[in-house]
Amino acid sequence: MSRRRRSAGDLWWKNAVIYCLDVQTFLDADGDGCGDLAGLTERIDYLDGLGVTCLWLMPFQPSPERDDGYDIVDFYGIDERLGTLGAFVEMVRTAQDRGIRVIVDFVLNHTSQHHPWFVSARKGRDAPFHDFYVWSDEKPDEKPADLVFPGEERSTWAWDDQAQRWYYHRFYTEQPDLNTGNPAVRDEIAQIAGFWLALGLAGFRVDAVPFLMEESDRATAQEPHELIRDLRAYLTRRRGDAVLLGEVNLPPKQALEFFGETGDELTMAFDFTVNQALYLSLVREDAGPLGKALKAQPELPDDCQRVNFVRNHDELSLDQLSDKERAEVFAAFGPEPDMQLYGRGIRRRLPSMLDGDERRIRMVYSLMFALPGTPALFYGEEIGMRENLAIEGRLSVRSPMQWSDERHAGFSPAPEGARLARPLPDDVSTTVEAQRRDPESLLNWMERLIRRRKECPELGWGRLRLLEASGPVLAHRCDWQDRTIVAVHNLSGSTATVRLPADDGWERLVDLFGTDDHAPGDDLRLEAYGHRWFRPE
């Protein structure tokens, strides 16, 4: 497939600000204790004011909720607790009116065991949808590393009494994997994508892409990456600026493969390698691990983009670190067994891990927004929300949004004592309402950070160059066309000094968050957890 060269205006994702939320935990408009699409629509102006340009919704289709909505029963429907298709279209229209594009989770790996396809598939080898899933007459050999949820699942194969065969499930037993190598399954995937694009979506976030590839060629000799290439081509035909944002938790060179040699597979992918190196650098108060991870990044195809994040909706995965490195991060940020998950991750939000030190919290977000790529926020990060460890597993970070000091933290008008979609933490003093009234709050600072980030296209389009620094200071520049942004971040609790270069004929470095401009070539003193952005002139 030939690809036309697109202008900068087409590549909106290069300078976007992504905000991820779960509809059921964002705002309840009808008082039943569960967030809904009507509540989300009420808060579109809040997201617009924050500076969000791309809203990413976690699954909202009908589901038994074995895996927080990722076990889907109807790919074309809306969970009745959340609203209707009409309410969904109204939400998308409202977002578009504010200049916010909407993308949603596209779960291609599996369905719920209650999906009509699997209900039919269980009836036997000749059932219409039997080949939509992965079956075996004998239980295949497997390795412990194959388990996504060690401790919760003992095998990736489950016996079905009705079909009298084993079926494959990479995740929970209740989530049989789709056989994406089957052309009929691929046709269904395209139809599902076309349906939601017709309702105004700007693209999809694809879950667990490497696992998807492992299953994609079971029914045919089709090359696995062709699944993503075909889907990307289909989206481009339907909507030229549609994106595929992939979850690819792999080292840089392996992750690069999922963009395609010509950028014809994923449009964007989350940068798990840099995210994990960031936490190791925070623990050590040493920019070395993060700098090493940034240097290891291969160049992407021109139209593609990495997505930077501090915290996502799952456990904080540390699986790319060595055992010793992971133990360091556990000891500092998740020392109790209840704070850890699957032996690889931490189920806390950043403010808890950093003991509420707002200087450090702001430095981390400043750094994330200053890195080349597209920044993504998980709901509540802008106010410093914490987790609720009383909620099991990875759901601990998905408690309801905290809006005000009203009942249920303003999340729901349900009566006192009513059951909410998910319990609130014991301490809900961190709210949007309180922080809006405080000009020095994290929320107001975050709004300013996002506004400045949107004014710095060098960070979305430019190339990274690490500057000479040592110890706790990460100094880098991003160059695009004839413009440059220089950023410095002190990862330690002590003052540090860095000398910024006096090259390119710069006369001064203009402070983008204050009035303290700097002379190139002079020492710059950074206070504990200090951070500065400059534009050279």
Contacts of 255 (CB under 8 A, 6+ apart): 248, 269, 272, 273
Confidence of residue 299 (pLDDT cuts 50, 70, 90): very high
Query: Does the active-site annotation cover 137?
Result: no
Residues 528, 359: contact at Cβ < 8 Å? yes
Instruction: Please give the mean pLDDT across all residues of the chain.
Output: 95
Name which of 355, 378, 365, 386 is nearest 283 in CA terms: 355
Residue identified by tokens 């710059």 is 524
Structure tokens belonging to residue 368: 């994330």
Among candidate residues 68, 207, 286, 303, the one labeled active-site is: 207
Q: Which residues of 350-366 are buried (b: 16+ CB within 10 A; e: fewer)?
A: bbbbbeeeeebbbbbbb
Q: Over 60: is that where the pLDDT of 263 sits?
A: yes
Q: Over 90: is that where the pLDDT of 510 sits?
A: yes
Q: What is the mean pLDDT of residues 221-225?
A: 68
Dump pLDDT digits (tens) for 350-382. 999 999 999 999 999 999 999 999 999 999 999
Dump pLDDT digits (tens) for 149-206. 998 999 999 999 999 999 999 999 999 999 998 999 999 999 999 999 999 999 999 9
Domain spans of the chain? Answer: 116-168, 463-536
Query: Does the active-site annotation cover 80?
Result: no
Q: Over 70: is that where the pLDDT of 222 sits?
A: no
Domain 116-168 has CATH 3.90.400.10: yes
The span from the CA of 56 to the CA of 49, in Å, is 17
In this predicted structure, what is the pLDDT of residue 343?
95
Read off the pTM. Answer: 0.96
- Please name the amino acid found at residue 457: P
Tally Cβ neighbours within 10 Å of residue 250: 17
Dump pLDDT digits (tens) for 138-165. 999 988 878 899 989 999 999 999 999 9
The span from the CA of 412 to the CA of 421, in Å, is 10
Q: What is the mean pLDDT of residues 275-299?
A: 98
In this predicted structure, what is the pLDDT of residue 145?
79
Q: Over 90: is that where the pLDDT of 461 sits?
A: yes
- Please name the amino acid found at residue 370: A
CATH class of 463-536: mainly beta
Among candidate residues 67, 215, 247, 382, the one labeled active-site is: 247
